[in-house]
Structure 1
Amino acid sequence: MERIMVVGISAGVGKSTFARRLGEQLEIEVFHLDAYHWKPGWVEAPREEFADAQRKIVGNESWIIEGNYSSTFDIRFEAADTIIYLELPLYLCLFRVLNRWLTNLGNTRVDMGEGCTEKMDWKFLKFIVTTYSSRKKKMQSRFANFLAKGEGRKVIQLKNKQEIKAFLENVIAK
């Protein structure tokens, strides 16, 4: 496990926190895609700039890249040796998103682009709810394709808080 993608079913599943803890334990640098995707004031980076940043990251010997971003998924997919997928129930993801918003109101989280103060809107919540189920199917297909690319690739699916906690504790023990 040297080139790790951390992806998840939804916002609020805990990708950023998980990746940060994993990075600390494995002593591997963590890259949060939101920090590359969002410019100050919640302006999206041009697609090619966002893609180029990822191409540069995956050129490193080891990395943990956290985030979904389907438009550039293949850049990470081709270079990764491990995908770690987090899947928690929709209600918990929504609760965490709302809690994160209230906790960080007026501040910029460490995993976000500079100048992107915490915000919440109906469009974002609707996106989470309406894409949750379809994303489950899409991820399973992606995992099968990833594993078919050759030996040495691994997909780890963690589907509840206990599995996530146990995985992180096991990484420490190794």
Structure 2
Amino acid sequence: MPTARRRRRLPDEVRRAVVRAVLCLAFTLVGIVVATLSSYADSWLMTPALMAMGVGVFGTMWCLLEILISRQVAAQRMRAPNSASPMAGSRAPARPVPPAPRAPLPGPGAQQAYPPQPYPPQPYPPQPYPPQGQRPQGYPPPAGPPYPGGPAPRQAGLTTR
């Protein structure tokens, strides 16, 4: 009959995080029960119980996240190169892997994997440009006198006399 593997003891910081999570979950469950019973009795305790329940849900999620983080930190500490026990899982330094050789680029006469697709040329209709100083059709007329024949625009900081 095979023997069951014995589980390792959790590190202290993980156990403390688990205890905090259990206490916070118990606090939340008590808040839920008090809120339910006080809602049946139309008691004034319903508002504080609902607030305690909300804080408890937030705290429980925080504690669960803390458990995950502390487990990761403890696992990294166990696998560290200079950990307390040499057989705790430290690894030998990895050898650098040489890059794989690249295939040469195809020459000018080589067959390509995807030959270029011939696209028929699209005829563009000629766009006649209007003569200088005129606007094309469809544009609104300019708001003032045109620049070449009208007054020059004023520049900031310059005065003319």
- Find the structure with the greater CA-based Rg: 2
Where is the strand percentage greater, Structure 1 or Structure 2? 1
Give the structure, 1 or 2, with the largest relative contact order (CA under 8 Å, sep 6 or more): 1
Shorter-normalised TM-score: what interval?
A: under 0.3
**TM-score computed with the length of structure 2 as normaliser:** 0.22
**TM-score computed with the length of structure 1 as normaliser:** 0.20
